[in-house]
Amino acid sequence: MRNPDALAEHLAEHVVLESPVFTDSFIGKEAAMSVLGVLLAGIDEFEPTEVIAGETRAAIMLRIRAGDAEVTGVDDLTVDADGRIARMSIQWRPLEKIVAIQQRLAPLIGAPKLGLVRI
């Protein structure tokens, strides 16, 4: 789903978004939509590859590409009694590519860029 407006209708007002590229959670629909809008605008490809759904939980396996950085991941979703997403925990791998995507998105959202140190 690359259309932020279509995504917004599925989010609860009190949604909590846990991102793999920013340390603090985004709380509330407006905050979550601001970061999801930047993510969707700042990547080149977003491909859901599989969905597993239960009554109050769902997992969406996906592939994302931004420039030369490609990650695979899972969006772990919890829905509330109204069927809206109340919690979205995003998990990606590998770490090196997560950092590359974070560095691309950070200036768009006003966050500091992270670096990866090899020891």
pLDDT tens for 13-49 read 999 999 988 888 999 999 999 989 888 888 999 999 9
30 domain residue, yes or no: yes
pLDDT category, 2, cuts 50, 70, 90? low
84 domain residue, yes or no: yes
CA distances from 94 to 21, 26, 64, 76, 82 (A): 12, 22, 12, 17, 34
44-54 tens-digit pLDDT: 999 999 999 99
The closest of 25, 42, 2 to 88, measured between CA atoms, is 25
List, in sequence order, the alpha helices (H) in the chain. 4-8, 29-42, 95-109
Q: Could you give the number of structural domains in the chain?
A: 1
Whether the pTM exceeds 0.95: the reply is no
96 domain residue, yes or no: yes
Terminal Cα-to-Cα distance of the chain (whole angstroms): 38
